[in-house]
Amino acid sequence: MAAEELKSEANEYFKKQQYEKAIALYTQAIEIDGSNPILYGNRSFAHLRMESFGYALRDASKALELDRTYIKGYYRRASAYMSLGKFKLALKDYETVTKTRPGDKDARLKYQECQKVVKMMLFQKAIAVEEDSKSVAASIDLEAMVIEDDYSGPRLEDGKVTESFMEDLIHHYTQQKKLHRRYAYKILLDMKEYLKSLPSLVDIPVDNAEKFTVCGDIHGQFFDLLNIFRLNGRPGVANRYLFNGDFVDRGSFSVEVIFILFGYTLLFPGRFYMSRGNHESLTMNQMYGFQGEVKAKYTSQMVELFTEVFNYLPLCHCINGRVLVMHGGLFSSDNVTLDDLRKIDRNRQPPDEGLMCELLWSDPMPGQGRAPSKRGVGIQFGPDVTKRFLELNGLDYIVRSHEVKAEGYEVGHGGDCITVFSAPNYCDTMGNKGAFIIVNGKDLKPQFTTYEAVPHPPVKPMAYANSIFSLFS
């Protein structure tokens, strides 16, 4: 089949949002005609939709290497840069387009919007330097937050989360109502203090006959979170859960998701666990919707408080010393031990390299060894890397999340590396199932439950995202 025919077939799969098939066909076309910048540009766009920002960046750069006048190449590369938080580089690409096509209104708009983001980031960075030593939590005055007479929502009992409060809160949220700001702030303050007491690697003991559930990304899909509880039971002393990062962003009910998860953490400390994901970070929240949602439903001050709380989320958990659970994956070095993970100073924004970065961002790959990340952050690691890590640390297997899977989960690396993703029909477009894993303490053998997405109110994903995203397509 000729390259042009393959491209046309790939384009059809792209329109159907079957991006993996589109990428495979664009790749075949490139193997036939590697000098066509459009093929690289199209594959870059498909990688963007798959959130493989590193690959998208590589393809867009290759397209521009072949043809410096290929305008879509600049657009694609700028989108990849924006998604990776490299705002200045994105601005440079948009600036190139506006200079090349001064009459192009679309290019001018993209440039102006990107410029706003860069200015905002620089301003916030300057403020952060000035206020680095100040704790937002310390400035919160709960007593000044008067509960109005007409407020009929859930109320903390003596300042504490109770089971009846959680039942009321879930019902309240299904009615698309808001928790009073006084209680919302109290939960955040209590969460910060609780999380500060935890290590970066939390050990989880599970008794032989005890059931334990691991869930992956939720991404603000509140009604799908409730479906997990319908299928598997509400959290409780005898129904323990670990949610493995990326609770917020993308989906537009992230506030509801995070307060339900925080509420259960406070209600059942040591029985309900949360790991940090790559989206529990300031840059991600600024771009992918959580910051905008918190500002819309509460205040800018609460955004800052969330950042403080997220900084204390543990980075990984170890079940019975035999199963390590982290959001992203493994490391660029072979000699990493569990003790090394326990020693990580996590109270900060995720760095661009090192153990903390790789725990949050890395992905498995089928081939041996290591490779640069398809995301542009972290690494890709093969089955040999996983096997050596397990042997060094006396582990049975690892569980991670971070990637959409058609069935909601994937068993890779000969059973050594399991991916679980719990947000079905991700962003209302991907058509994937969601899944969770159940183990018992006796054998820790993973059992998988999969499910379809459930209906939600007519609020689209990314409704609160930075306006620059509406221009990417």
DSSP code string of 409-456? EEEEGGGTEEEEB--TTGGGTS-PPEEEEEEETTT---EEEEE-----
Q: What is the average per-residue pLDDT within 63-86?
A: 91
Domains of the chain listed by start with CATH number: 3-128 (1.25.40.10), 139-471 (3.60.21.10)
Q: What is the pLDDT of residue 469?
A: 63
Q: Taking 80 as the threshold, does the pLDDT of residue 128 lie above it? A: no
pTM, full prediction = 0.91
Q: For residue 154, which phi and psi values (nearest 5 degrees)?
A: -60, 150
Is the model more confident about 178 or about 90? 178
Q: What is the pLDDT of residue 115?
A: 85
Q: Which two tokens stand for residue 49?
A: 């939709």
Confidence at 470, pLDDT banded by 50, 70, 90: low
Q: What is the pLDDT of residue 23?
A: 97
Is the model more confident about 112 or about 396? 396
Average pLDDT across the chain, whole number:
94
Which CB contacts under 8 angstroms, 24+ apart, belong to 158-163?
Answer: 159/186, 160/266, 161/187, 161/190, 161/263, 161/266, 161/267, 162/267, 163/267
Q: Taking 70 as the threshold, does the pLDDT of residue 91 lie above it? A: yes
- Quick one: what percent of the chain has pLDDT higher than 70? 96
Q: What is the pLDDT of residue 124?
A: 63
Q: Taking 50 as the threshold, does the pLDDT of residue 462 lie above it? A: yes
Encode pLDDT of 266-281 as tens digits. 999 999 999 999 999 9
246: left (phi over 0), alpha (psi -120 to 50) or beta: left
Which of 47, 279, 317, 402 is an active site residue? 279
> Alpha-carbon Rg of the chain, whole angstroms?
23
Q: What is the average per-residue pLDDT within 401-416?
A: 97
- Helix intervals (H) in 175-326: 181-196, 222-232, 254-267, 282-288, 290-297, 300-310
Confidence at 473, pLDDT banded by 50, 70, 90: very low
Nearest to 422 by CA among 279, 250, 255, 218: 218
Active site residue 171: no
Q: Taking 70 as the threshold, does the pLDDT of residue 379 lie above it? A: yes
Confidence at 1, pLDDT banded by 50, 70, 90: low
Distance CA 331, CA 323 (A): 16
Distance CA 328, CA 51 (A): 14
Helix axes 222-232, 254-267, angle to 10 degrees: 40
